[in-house]
């Protein structure tokens, strides 16, 4: 791929101008963006109905890798039509919302031609399930067979049911000492790196349905086919 050096130079000058204007100077908490009601409620309702009775969850301790008392049902990239639409919407629209708010990411996103999104992991949390502090690059260390040659850049958490349906399940970031209680259709985006350790607090009652996507730089071959993953997950 040939670089357009004039465009690169122009973009570099624009970035320098924005730095001088203070647009790159933001608080750490401003890198965490909470988009409310981003996914419509009917879509979320359909997803929850499908997930409620979905079989073949992975409950092995290898998934949590010691990250917590994780008794949630985990589904790796379930082939649900509604989820595919959600993934496309987040990649096209939610990530643009993030880029508009976080200027440094805006330039990284628009200048790089190989920005991709991962498969989605969906979790069906039960009472007493939780996820202890971790950052989202750790998944590459736990499962290098899934994601070769890849560095996660941005995480998107998607929430499919209303907070009235469960107790607990807050998303907490110790770096800014801030908790989120996302509700149905909400999306929370944040950097995947070690600065943004986070956890899901214990579910004390009800069920919580949520999914996670990661955005990364890579080629299409870095997104492995579903058949490559099947041997790691129960049917």
Give the mean pLDDT of 51-78: 64
Kindly state whether residue 84 falls inside one of the protein's structural domains. yes
Which tens digits make up the pLDDT trace of 10-32? Answer: 566 666 777 667 666 678 999 99
Assign residue 206 the CATH number of its domain. 2.60.120.620
Distance of CA 125 to the CA centre of its chain: 16
Judge contact between 77 and 119, C-beta under 8 A: yes
What is the average pLDDT score of the chain? 77
The owner of tokens 């350790």 is: 197
- Among 72-76, 98-102, 203-207, 225-229, the minimum mean pLDDT is found in 225-229
Residues sharing a CB contact under 8 Å with residue 120, sequence separation 6 or more, in sequence order: 77, 78, 83, 86, 87, 158, 211, 212, 213
Kindly state whether residue 178 falls inside one of the protein's structural domains. yes
Share of the chain above pLDDT 70, in %: 68
DSSP code of residue 94: I
Judge contact between 202 and 70, C-beta under 8 A: no
H-helix segments, 34-94: 41-52, 61-64, 81-89
pLDDT of residue 164: 96
Q: How many residues appear in the chain?
A: 235
The owner of tokens 């349905």 is: 209
pLDDT of residue 59: 56
Give me the domain span that covers residue 123.
41-53+67-232
pLDDT above 50 (res 2): no
H-helix segments, the chain: 5-20, 41-52, 61-64, 81-89, 95-101, 103-111, 138-142, 226-229
Helix axes 41-52, 81-89, angle to 10 degrees: 140
Kindly write down the DSSP assignment for every residue of 212-227, as one continuous string. Answer: EEEEEE--GGGS--HH
Which tens digits make up the pLDDT trace of 164-200? Answer: 999 999 999 999 999 999 999 999 999 998 899 999 9
Kindly state whether residue 36 falls inside one of the protein's structural domains. no
Kindly state whether residue 59 falls inside one of the protein's structural domains. no
pLDDT above 90 (res 111): no
Q: How far is CA 44 from CA 22, 38, 39, 50, 113, in A?
A: 38, 10, 7, 10, 31
Q: Does residue 105 or residue 150 have the better pLDDT? A: 105
Whole-number Å distance between alpha carbons of 181 and 187: 11
Kindly state whether residue 34 falls inside one of the protein's structural domains. no
pLDDT above 50 (res 5): no
- Dihedral, CA of residue 102, residue 103, residue 109 and residue 111, to nearest 10: 180
Kindly state whether residue 13 falls inside one of the protein's structural domains. no
Kindly state whether residue 225 falls inside one of the protein's structural domains. yes
Judge contact between 147 and 209, C-beta under 8 A: no
What total number of domains does the chain contain?
1
Kindly state whether residue 6 falls inside one of the protein's structural domains. no
DSSP code of residue 32: S
């Amino acid at each position: 791929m040939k670089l357009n050096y004039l465009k690169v130079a122009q973009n570099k000058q624009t970035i320098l101008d924005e730095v001088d204007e203070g647009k790159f100077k933001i608080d750490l908490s401003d890198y965490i963006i909470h988009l409310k009601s981003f996914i419509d409620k009917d879509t979320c309702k359909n997803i929850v109905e499908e997930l409620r009775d979905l079989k073949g969850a992975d409950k092995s301790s290898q998934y949590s890798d010691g990250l917590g008392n994780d008794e949630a049902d985990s589904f790796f990239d379930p082939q649900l039509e509604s989820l595919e639409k959600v993934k496309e919407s987040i990649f096209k629209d939610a990530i643009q919302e993030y880029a508009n708010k976080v200027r440094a990411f805006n330039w990284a996103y628009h200048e790089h031609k190989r920005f991709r999104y991962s498969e989605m992991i969906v979790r069906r949390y039960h009472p007493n399930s939780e996820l202890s502090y971790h950052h989202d690059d750790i998944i590459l260390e736990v499962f290098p067979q899934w994601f070769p040659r890849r560095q996660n850049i941005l995480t998107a958490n998607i929430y499919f049911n209303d907070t009235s349906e469960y107790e607990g399940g807050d998303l907490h970031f110790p770096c800014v000492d801030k908790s989120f209680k996302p509700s149905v259709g909400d999306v929370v985006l944040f950097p995947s790196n070690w600065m943004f350790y986070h956890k899901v607090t214990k579910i004390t009652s009800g069920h919580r349905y949520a999914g996670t996507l990661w955005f990364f730089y890579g080629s299409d071959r870095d997104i492995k086919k579903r058949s490559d993953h099947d041997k790691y997950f129960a049917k």
